[in-house]
Chains A and B, each alone.
Chain A
């Protein structure tokens, strides 16, 4: 039980305090995210029930580095597959099959290909989980409706120039229907 508790406490995110605003209209919400970004906040987050076109640009999120992870691990898998088939079938345990050369590329391309795909795919998913801090247990909930029809912006306390009163005013100006202190 001790180990399970430890794992769970590791997976339980440390909630940050901050201000949250709730929007009902997605277009106003994307616009608001852009304005919050322009006001100098950089660590804020946006919560939406579905993917929003243009939210990345509005929030100033740079292009993901996952493609580079995929490429690196894909090449690693390819090299490993090449080396392993060579080592296993021509060095460590050479067996003559149908009179073909010990290390026959056509026979081993499937293995090289599968190793490439395996490492590329698993590493991409792994990198995605890493970036998103997943898996996560009992994450703090700002508003349960953020998974159905509401949109939320959250600015943590440690963001540059954090000022709860100013933020509340800004959120209201940008059309938030609700502004509250929250943890996320």
Chain B
């Protein structure tokens, strides 16, 4: 890497234009959500859930990626770590957003409706876990834990920017290990609570891993796009180059394969056993108009990105990498939409302004929180003791 033309590092300025865009998106989202809430509350909350979960995954995904870098004591990723840490700025908002999910109540979850539970022996049997107070307790515990780990890990990383104390790197390690253990349980249960319990009769033990695969894939795609934006503006000259992007591209590729592997594992076992209480999830999705959404998922969330990212050259061609990242981010929305919407309407694929505006609203909030975070702190953790490995990162294969 050429040491001569290194950019002077600092925060990423949050331009008035970007601020305006994020506020405009929030405004569109708020208005769109309010209107759809008045016209069709059930649909509005489903749109809310998909958009909320989409950006929640990016927030917690950023923390997860930072944690695995700490646990594996990775050197190469130091120069890009601040970007995934910036996603965690969305987590406090996500905690507030969870209140919305709880407020949606029986519009989303039939097990929150006492009359439904009384009629249905299966729901009554599951009420020990699926009941509103315990649901809220779980949300509080999960978000409490995630915010604590964010404070310890991301806060430590920012503190190191100021005082340059290498001991912080050592102290962060146990927190990162603790987070991964906590994350495995909490994220899995969170997915079960928010998405799987939309269909409370159905169960799949692999469900948390399925959402996790999408989490990793979409977090990598967002990181790649954000870093490319900074690179184009010349903010990362001499710090991040195609070697780092190649490795992020490898991660995105790997978790594209992982997603297909998990999605298929879930499908194949249910298909083989052919038990009614399990196939009830796939029946509406492989019959009628939803079939096309399922086929589109298979093609554009796995086959196309897989073939496109297979070669080394594709992962080092930054424009190409960005195109695939955008495709993956679109398909990530389709994936969550596909998990949620057949419960609302199994006969018809409904998509329109309520879904788009609500997504825009959350996108605005995400953009604002991440933008504000990056405008406050240096975009590269300059005083990390492993930064030299990242400055001289060179991917031979």
Contacts and interface: CB of A to CB of B under 8 A. Distances in A.
A2 to B, nearest CB: 42
A106 B396 contact: no
Nearest to B312: A67
Contacts of A107: 268, 272
Interface in B229-279: 264, 267-268, 271-272, 274
A53 B396 contact: yes
Contacts, number: 20
Given A53-B394, A54-B394, A56-B396, A98 B268 contact: no
Nearest to B264: A109
Interface in A23-80: 51, 53-54, 56, 64, 67, 71
Nearest to B313: A63
A98 B267 contact: no
B394 A109 contact: no
A67 B311 contact: yes
A107 B310 CA distance: 26
Interface residues of B, number: 12
Contact of A109 (B268, B312, B397): B268
Contacts of B396: 51, 53, 56
Which secondary structure dominates where chain A touches chain B? Answer: helix
Contact of A106 (B272, B311, B312): B272
A106 B394 contact: no
Contact of A98 (B274, B311, B312): B274
Contact of B271 (A56, A64, A106): A106
A106 B274 contact: no
A110 B272 CA distance: 13
Contacts of A110: 268
A131 to B, nearest CB: 14
Contacts of B311: 67
Interface string B380-397: 000000000000001011
A98 B312 CA distance: 44
Nearest to B267: A106
B228 to A, nearest CB: 24
A64 B312 CA distance: 12
| Shortest Cβ-Cβ A-B pairs, 6 listed | A106-B271, A106-B268, A53-B394, A109-B264, A98-B274, A106-B267
Interface of B: 264, 267-268, 271-272, 274, 310-312, 394, 396-397
Given A67-B311, A109-B268, 18 more contacts: A51-B396, A53-B394, A53-B396, A54-B394, A56-B396, A64-B397, A67-B312, A71-B310, A98-B272, A98-B274, A106-B267, A106-B268, A106-B271, A106-B272, A107-B268, A107-B272, A109-B264, A110-B268
20 contacts: A51-B396, A53-B394, A53-B396, A54-B394, A56-B396, A64-B397, A67-B311, A67-B312, A71-B310, A98-B272, A98-B274, A106-B267, A106-B268, A106-B271, A106-B272, A107-B268, A107-B272, A109-B264, A109-B268, A110-B268
